[in-house]
Structure formats: C-alpha cells, structure tokens
Amino acid sequence: MANKTLNQQIAAQIIRLRKEQGLTQEELAEKAGTDFSYIGRIERNQVNFSVHTVDKIITALEVTPAEFFEFLKLEDSTSEIFELLVEINTSEKRDILLNMIKDMLKLTK
C-alpha cells in the first residue's frame, strides 16, 4: 500500500475485509449503524471520516483494531530496510549510494 494516504489505506482495508466476509456495503452499513452510501463514499475515499466511524466499522467487521490495522506493521526485515533507506536518503552521498544499490541489484538478476 505504498504511497497511499492513511485514509486510502483504511478504505482499502474496509473493502478487503468486507469482501472477505461476503458483506455488501448495505450489510456492513447496517451492522455499523450508518448509511450504506456513507460506506460507499468511505470506500471511494470521497469523505473524511472520524476515528469513531472507523471504530464502528471495525466492530461491525468483527475484527480487533490490531487485526484491522495490520497493514501498518512492517516486518522486522522490512523495517530494517526502511530505516537504511531513510538514512541513505538523508546522506550527502545519496546519489552514489543509490547507484551502488542499483548496481548490486543488477548482479542478483
């Protein structure tokens, strides 16, 4: 889900979990106590929604907040790579380091 806003990531997670459970937007809206058109607008990222609304949807989907937000977790190895990339990106020798990484990746093909 790289390069997506948090709202877009939450919307994608709602869609994924709703479809996994075989729920329509109408069914999810009924379980969450909201209007189905609002669920549709959330899924299409057409509205800003509150934490309270997300909480109601999580409850309706019968998952824990930790399960719902699992997409935010990075695996340890991914986290380590991310930290290195941040360090490279702020380095004065960024371009040299990136070219070295590109060259190393070419060797693995």
The larger pLDDT score, comparing residue 66 to residue 43, is at 43
**pLDDT, tens only, 11-30:** 999 999 999 999 999 999 99
Contact 27, 97 (CB under 8 A): no
Answer yes or no: is pLDDT of 77 > 70: no
Instruction: Provide the whole-model pTM.
Output: 0.67
Closest CA to 13 of 43, 34, 36: 43
Burial class, 86, CB count within 10 angstroms (exposed 0-12 / middle 13-18 / buried 19+)? exposed
Count the Cβ atoms, other than its own, within 10 Å of residue 72: 12
> Within 10 A of 20 (CB to CB), how many other CB atoms are there?
10
Mean pLDDT for all residues in the chain: 89
The model's confidence at residue 1, banded by pLDDT at 50, 70 and 90, is: very low
For residue 38, give both structure tokens: 């609002």
